[in-house]
Amino acid sequence: MSDIYGGTHTTDRNGRINVMQRISLDAAQPGMTVAKPVMNEAGVVLVGAGTQLTEATIEKLKSLDIASIIVKGRPIETGVPEKPLEQVYAELDERLSLVAGDALCNQIKEHIKKDLRIRREEGS
């Protein structure tokens, strides 16, 4: 994924990466696949995960005032500029600055950095 705001992924049991993205309903197109259930205000599921969108489904969701949905893949280029990894690391260091003398906290921090780096690599 190329940014941490607009896109995401999860790995399935075989370790494959499933990319998904939250998009505005206005940007939804027939053929896109819903990655997470779409719910109304009352928590009732309107469209289940895995459903392929049709023109009719999109119109129905619009009529129900749904603003955004999460779809599979990364159909929309968000254009949100990516924070440099170095800056993300520096912010992490700052958050953990009061526990910087703790060896376990430092190890945890390094593993969080590793995860952030892997995310970037998978997205590029």
**Applying CB under 8 A, which residues contact other proteins?**
4, 7-11, 20, 22, 36-37, 39, 41-45, 48-49, 67-68, 70, 91-92, 94-99, 102, 104-105, 107-109, 111-112, 114-116, 118-119
Shortest reach from residue 61's CB to other proteins, in Å: 15
Give the nearest distance from C-beta 96 to other proteins in angstroms.
5
Q: Which is nearer to other proteins, 56 or 67 (CB)?
A: 67
State in angstroms the smallest separation of the CB of 30 from other proteins. 22
Three-state secondary structure string covering the chain: CCCCCCEEEEECCCCCEEEEEEEEHHHCCCCCEECCCEECCCCCEEECCCCECCHHHHHHHHHCCCCEEEEECCCCCCCCCCCCHHHHHHHHHHHCHHHCCCHHHHHHHHHHHHHHHHHHHHHC
Give the shortest CB-115-to-other proteins separation in angstroms. 5
